């Protein structure tokens, strides 16, 4: 869920058909209402589309949330996020998170950094219905940021790309499995 009131939402459509760049995040046509990260979206959603592979061609966009969701009617799809690393910020009060609300595994091949501005803040990786696989690194951007891994029992968060904590902490809750 988005805790950042007023965050601009970008919902992936994958509708751009430009040869060679149809999966790019920078293409406004790939986002419903043409509202992607280049247009100011901070809360990205992936779920309602047939184009399930995307490529972040934007240099380190500043985001708040990445959410995967069920498209309904049993029409679940695994999304794969490739490309440049992203940084998730708290933007004054909320907590940045990556959430899987779909019923299938979601794959994140790009690096992710959680970076809170509060004196002590937290980033969240949550799996409610399906697994999350990180092939890119997951890191904490400053000494004020902690990471919570949680979700429903039976789901797994795979951290194949590594986890860089520095002096920060990770908390595992909700009977989550870490692979």
pLDDT at 108: 97
pLDDT at 25: 92
Residue 46: name the closest of 54, 56, 58 by CA: 54
Say if residues 127 and 176 touch (Cβ distance below 8 Å): yes
Residue 171: name the closest of 142, 141, 140 by CA: 140
pLDDT at 4: 42
| Residue range 89-138, pLDDT digits in tens | 887 667 889 999 998 999 999 999 988 776 667 888 999 888 999 999 99
The three-state secondary structure class of 160 is coil
Residue 73 has pLDDT above 60, yes or no: no
| Average pLDDT along the chain | 82
Confidence tier at 176 by pLDDT (50, 70, 90): low
Q: How far apart are CA 146 and CA 163, in angstroms?
A: 12
Q: How many Cβ atoms sit within 10 Å of the Cβ of residue 75?
A: 10
pLDDT at 76: 80
Percent of the chain with pLDDT over 70: 83
Confidence tier at 169 by pLDDT (50, 70, 90): low
| Residue range 17-34, pLDDT digits in tens | 888 888 999 998 998 888
Residue 66 has pLDDT above 60, yes or no: yes
User: Rounded mean pLDDT of 38-54?
Assistant: 83
């Amino acid at each position: 869920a988005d805790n950042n009131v007023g965050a601009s939402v970008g919902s992936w459509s994958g509708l751009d058909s430009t040869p060679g760049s149809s999966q790019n995040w920078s293409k406004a046509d790939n986002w419903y209402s043409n509202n992607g990260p280049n247009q100011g979206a901070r809360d990205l959603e992936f779920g309602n589309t047939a184009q399930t592979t995307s490529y972040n061609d934007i240099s380190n966009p500043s985001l708040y949330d990445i959410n995967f969701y069920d498209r309904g009617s049993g029409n679940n799809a695994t999304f794969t996020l490739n490309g440049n690393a992203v940084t998730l910020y708290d933007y004054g009060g909320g907590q940045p998170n990556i959430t899987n609300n779909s019923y299938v595994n979601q794959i994140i091949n790009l690096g992710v950094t959680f970076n809170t501005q509060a004196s002590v803040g937290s980033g969240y990786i949550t799996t409610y219905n399906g697994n999350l696989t990180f092939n890119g690194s997951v890191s904490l951007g400053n000494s004020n940021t902690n990471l919570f891994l949680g979700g429903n029992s039976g789901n797994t968060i795979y951290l194949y790309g590594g986890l860089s904590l520095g002096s920060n902490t990770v908390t595992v809750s909700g009977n989550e499995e870490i692979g």
